[in-house]
Amino acid sequence: MNFDELASNMTADIYQRLKESVELGRWPTGGELSKEQKALCLEAILKYEIAQQIPVEQRTGYLPSNSCGPANEVDTIDSINLPTGGEE
């Protein structure tokens, strides 16, 4: 079974625990999540939400289209200049 299948087929309880762990930055046992663990958990959460056909408005990271102000203020993510590593 690959990662996509595993994420799609996890139980609702595991999904909730992963979401809580990412929100708190800690596992239920109290150990801290590494950056890599957070990224993998978020990927699993998103894959689960898609597989379970959770409405887009209820998915992790959803922002209403008008939450950033006027529609013409920011058209796409491409219009935002993010710094790249190594440049200062």
pLDDT in tens, 69-83: 555 554 444 444 545
Residue whose structure tokens are 């087929």: 9
State pLDDT tens for residues 32-85.
999 999 999 999 999 999 888 888 888 888 888 775 555 555 444 444 454 555
- Which range is least confidently modeled, 3-7, 23-27, 34-38, 70-74? 70-74
Taking phi over 0 as left and psi of -120 to 50 as alpha, with beta for the rest, 73 belongs to alpha
Residue 4 has pLDDT above 70, yes or no: yes
Q: 38 near 25, Cβ under 8 Å? A: yes
pTM of the model: 0.67
Highest-pLDDT range among 2-6, 26-30, 71-75, 78-82: 26-30
Residue partners of 25: CB distance under 8 A and separation at least 6: 32, 33, 38
